[in-house]
Structure 1
Amino acid sequence: MESISSQRGQKKLMLEGYLYCKEKDLNGKTIWKCDRWKKLSCHARIHVRENKVLKRVNTHNHAGDAARCEALKVSAEIKSKAVNTRCDSQQIIGEALANITEAVKGQMATINSMRRNIRRLRNRGKGGKVEAQTPEDKSTEDGASSDGEDFVLFDNHEHENRVVIFGTRAYLPLLSEVKDWYAEGSIQSVSHSFCQLYTIYVIKDGVSLPVVFCLVSDKCEATYIAVCRALKNLVPDLRPESILMDFEIGAINAFEKEFPDTRLKGCFSHFTRNILRTIQLNGLKKKYDSDNVFAKKMCMLAALAFVPGDDVERGFENLCSTLDADYSLENVLDHFEDTYVGRPGKIMRRRPKYKMEFWNMYSAVRQGALGTGMNYVLEGWHKALAEVVGLSHPTVKILESLTSGQSRNEKEDENGLKRLKIGSKYCDLDSKIEEIVKDYSRDNILEYLGRIASHFSL
């Protein structure tokens, strides 16, 4: 366990690849909560007395990130030297970055940002504390609500394969006008009657618009086929050119059958999450959280998505040869091979669970269509909705939330507001990956995978 000062001057604890911020003092002990409690709704906490963990409450809903922790330590060192020495900024930054791994560098701010921070600290006076930034302004405007009955576009009223589709008639034509869709399934266990909310978005004039919200009773292929057919009845002559979607196999099969000419692509953030889930199921999460070298190797596994399809098998085998695979890690590698590459047969590899063209991102990057930021922006919208819905009986509350949210969307759309802005860090990530992909060489696959893996975590 180690304490450190954050960029905002607040004390944080680092433990096993996680960061904690202070919640309160109670009965001679201090309660610390995960610092992702707001961003990721993580409710993990630890009770600490005299630098010893007395109790752990709840488990983290995300992976630890040893590289992020190390990056925070380096940032604190830069801050300390900026305040307490007369060294120039170039020297401070150079010394700080000299002996850190590429994974840690990938978590650091840009050189220009670090220089600005040093100047800002020194302008506030030597020994001055960094003031906490003002919290983001949260809009409390609810907007006018649409009529709930009109908002329900379709309901098949079946006990099995139940589907209810919400949306507004004004937005429906967008499914025909805009040829690239984004589909995201989220909010598990919505109610006793529905297990998932499945949303389809489009991007028009730089604005991401949720067009339809589909409550489904299960994740069977037949249920998603009912969704597709309902959409085709609501909007005749639907012909999307591409759909970026999660890895829900029932939805993939359904869209493939109902829209055979549409190009289906897997979302990279879901791809990395699936790999992390396999790591967790095989008891390797703690090792991933605390071992930088192992964590990077697992990120290199995910980086195979950026290798040309014809070279994925070669890259996978080369990467496996560098790993000291015990029983648990072999299970992870076997699962990846069965799911994404295909297990070797007598003549050729068997067909994997997901076609390579579905999850492989190499062609998308070469065409400038990676869109990492949009993946996370859309997931953020779903997490925000989950917070609104909460734990109360959600069937009515979901309708109220979606109705008021859609009305607000339409109002903002009329005013020309861009609601879901992609953060600059995601644009930077896409640019960095694009530059690396341009230099791809099949003779240096491991080096290539390592360079890609330095820019993301699972």
Structure 2
Amino acid sequence: MYSIITTQKGSKAIYFENNFYRLQKQNKNGTSRWVCTNRLCSSSLIIKNETLQVVRGKHNHTNGKPSLSIIHTVHEVRQTVCNNPSKPVTQIYNEAVSAYRQNEGTAELVPMFNMLKSTLYRDRATVLPKLPRSLDDLILPDIFTKNLYNENMLFCDKKKPLRILGFASLTAIKQLAECSIWNADGTFKTAPKLFTQSYTIHAHNEFSMKPIIFSALPNKYEKTYSALLKSLISYAKTNNLILSPTSILIDFELSSFNAFTKAFPNTNILFCHFHFAKNIMKNVKKLQELITLYNHCPPNERTLYEMIFPINLVKTYIDFEYYIDNNLDINDHHIGAKCFIKILHYVLNFFDHKHHENENYLHITLQQFLVLES
């Protein structure tokens, strides 16, 4: 008796006596002719009303194709992939292989995953919505705008001039309103496709720090941050919530700093020192004087970069000068002062001079520095 199977390309085939046949033609008398899938073989079958009528010719080749049980297993895997699109394809494959070996043993090898991977992922793509080619094509199904408690999560969905998405439940925003200290951070590695970055706002209390606001942004411009914050403030006011943190800690990024300052004018906006120092180092290490000093420093004593890490500018200057005078064999004894003056100038110009706390910091630092030089 023959069996009808489905090929990897989705067409019908017949498995008969360890060989495979494809449909060649349907005759007017109701019969169908099936020929061997090996094109150099003349063997064929005649079938009418699902009954095998005639077997013609003999096979002139060996059969290197898998058995019927393997074919059924692969077909079941493909069906499971289509019926469970959210389940990992590798997990479905591994479970099917394990079940096959328990029932059939290991006499015949199941095709390796890499041999079926493209077919399985192609099958899954037929039941999943197509990925958008642009942010204008992105459609959010209603199920993706709610959390597990069926609360609305989407508070911002701006389409013009660029797409901005903001997610937070009303319960979470209430927690944000109750907290006086916020942290905000952006990341690029986990950004959804077509977006540039994922941006989150965290609420900080005496017990922990929790992510509250989740957003997908198309860039890192000030107007983009401002649009997100305006939507958040407006949504909160609509629900009778006032957002008024006392301080917000952000990355050292002027565009986000300006946006937060305009959105929360009475809030103390603080920079993360790690990112601040990283930005300073990225620029000051290009100074020619610093490069000269670095080249004169023995490989096992190259601590100059660590010494100018801007934690305490005055202490850094003393250490810097002392290190140059006592460790480096260099003719120009003024090169250290020149280098540090440039570093100091660069660091001071990074600050917003209108911010009262930065103003005090600059005043104290410059005063100490002038006393030191005198």
With structure 1 as the length reference, what TM-score do the two structures score? Answer: 0.37
Give TM-score, length-normalised by structure 2.
0.44
Which structure has the greater CA radius of gyration? 2
